A and B are shown apart, each in its own frame.
Chain A
Amino acid sequence: MARKEYAFYPGCSSQKGASASNYLVSVESMCKTLDIKMTEIPDWNCCGASVSYAESGELPRHVMNARNFALAESNLPGQDIVATCAACWLGARESKERLEHSDRLMADTQTALKEAGLQIKVIPEVRHMVEVLIEDLGYDELKKPVKKPLAGMKFAGYVGCQTNRPFGIAGESFENPMYLDKLIETVGGEAVKYDQKVTCCGGALAFSEPEKAQAQIKDIIEAAYDGGAEMIVTPCPLCQANVEVYQGQINKKYGTKFDIPVLYYSQLMTLAYGGSAKEAGLNGNVVRARKLEEFAGK
């Protein structure tokens, strides 16, 4: 038996062939080394994400999350739900809170769930992968399997919004959370200081209002460069995509020369644990992390 077992909620973006599929690959490698067993919640569905607020209304949004709770509870009893995407985590956790605080919402939710042959007894805990790493294992345990420290490499830990607010990681401040920096240091890298660590990248507005979001993204990348970073590291698939894939467009618009790789913490950990470039999902990065590719090949 693995040392820890969880009900895994990958979310839409982390499926095979989707925009964060390389996140999934690296999480799987990382968990293998750490002896963490993640079992996908059978037939899980999308949480709806924050931006669907207008069309979803209140109850339907909570019902979508409740379906995942019911499926996790009946198929993987006693296991916490673990999300890798900040937005999935937030959406599910918010629904859990609302349902637990409102008998009326809970009763309506049960009525709706019955239509799908489901029911909730106790809603499982809903946690982010990073919480599991820090709280259930701890930095010391995360450090033990490090075979190849990422010595001499400088990273800007970009925490962004939804892994940080409104729930955040226990014990961390909203204005200057340190956990991502600590994770970087745990695997031997250097976490640079810069002033846009928790700035919003524009979130879903990157799709609907690209100029506005790109202006925000530009500030974040500029600050990372100014801080001396060679790469950016994130805990969230949307942050990752937003900060990575528009660099070309921003360069065109603003005359900048951005070309900075944007990675997941799980990719760094996989590499430091001795994993290959493939196991770390480096082939999934649009701005290629050449330095890390070389490092993995050594």
Chain B
Amino acid sequence: MSDLNQQMAERYKNNFLKEIEEQAEMGEWVKMCMQCGLCSGSCPTNFHSGWDHPPQEIFMLIRAGKREEVLNAQGMYMCTSCYNCYVRCPRKVPVTHVMHGIAEYAYRIGRAPKNQPTMHLSRTFWNNATKYGRVNEVKLTQSLYFKDGLGAGIKKAMEMQTVALGLVKAGRLNPLEAIGGGHKCKDLKGIHAMLAKANELEAQRKAAKG
């Protein structure tokens, strides 16, 4: 177990619901769920493999204090942010954001599965977007393909080659972005200082809870 995970488990002892309420963004909504199942039935990734626990079940497990089951679950990483559940929930639970909040929390305490592809995307996307203030689509794609090493990256890139070539031909993918051309904000210094401050404040606030 990672240190932070251990610390949190100890701090909240047997109260996993409280842990989620205080530590996960929008976690305070979990107790509003009345287990109707509408969210699970609306979820587009419902029928895919790997979708072990739909939102309704995740919320039930949280209330039952099943810390390990929830932190080991894959379901929250399957979310496409389609907001079907969000608009349909009769209790107005912002399901999409609760799912993201739980995933973010699992990641923060070192419990997100290694190599979970959507978590990898999440990380890569944010780092890419904040480095230059705007997304560099070529670098984003590169780091996504090559996450499993050079061999796997080349294989994936070959499979995607026709897709990429089509975009380049249509003027919608600029190979120059790979070598430092491409889109950037001017005030990068300001952006980075602002984000450093935001991270600092967020960490303080989360540590103060519990």
Query: Which of A's residues lie within 8 Å of B, judged by CB?
Result: 12-13, 15, 17-22, 43-46, 48-60, 63-64, 67, 108-109, 111-118, 161-162, 165-166, 174, 199-200, 202-205, 207-209, 212-213, 215-216, 245-246, 248-249, 283-286
Interchain CB contact under 8 A, B191 and A60: no
Q: Would you give the shortest CB distance from B117 to chain A, in whole angstroms?
A: 4
Which label, helix, strand, loop or mixed, suits the secondary structure of the B interface? helix
Residues of A contacting B87 in the complex (Cβ-Cβ under 8 angstroms): 165-166, 174
Interchain CB contact under 8 A, B195 and A165: no
Residues of B contacting A115 in the complex (Cβ-Cβ under 8 angstroms): 190, 193-194, 196-197
Q: Mark B181-196, 1 if CB is under 8 A from A, else 0.
A: 0110111001101111
A149 and B190 alpha carbons, distance in the complex (Å): 49
Residues of A contacting B108 in the complex (Cβ-Cβ under 8 angstroms): 57
Query: Which of B's residues lie within 8 Å of A, judged by CB?
Result: 25, 44-45, 48, 78, 80-84, 86-88, 94, 96, 100-101, 103-104, 107-108, 112, 117-123, 125-127, 129-130, 133-135, 137, 141, 144, 159, 162-163, 166-167, 169-174, 176-177, 182-183, 185-187, 190-191, 193-199, 201-202, 205
A48 and B125 alpha carbons, distance in the complex (Å): 8
Interchain CB contact under 8 A, B120 and A60: no
Residues of B contacting A116 in the complex (Cβ-Cβ under 8 angstroms): 187, 190-191, 193-194
Q: Would you give the shortest CB distance from B146 to chain A, in whole angstroms?
A: 13
A283 and B169 alpha carbons, distance in the complex (Å): 9
Chain A, residue nearest B129 (CB)? A46
Interchain CB contact under 8 A, B129 and A49: yes
Given contacts A51-B118, A284-B172, contact A165 B129 (CB under 8 A): no
Q: Would you give the shortest CB distance from A56 to chain B, in whole angstroms?
A: 5
The 3 closest A-B pairs by CB, nearest first: A116-B190, A165-B83, A200-B82
Interchain CB contact under 8 A, A245 and B122: no
Interchain CB contact under 8 A, A12 and B129: yes
Interchain CB contact under 8 A, B83 and A166: yes
A2 and B174 alpha carbons, distance in the complex (Å): 33
Residues of B contacting A209 in the complex (Cβ-Cβ under 8 angstroms): 48, 78, 117-118
A202 and B163 alpha carbons, distance in the complex (Å): 17
Partner of A166, one of B86, B104, B135, B137: B86
Q: Would you give the shortest CB distance from A50 to chain B, in whole angstroms?
A: 4
A165 and B86 alpha carbons, distance in the complex (Å): 8
Residues of A contacting B83 in the complex (Cβ-Cβ under 8 angstroms): 161-162, 165-166
Interchain CB contact under 8 A, A286 and B166: yes
A45 and B185 alpha carbons, distance in the complex (Å): 7
Residues of B contacting A109 in the complex (Cβ-Cβ under 8 angstroms): 198
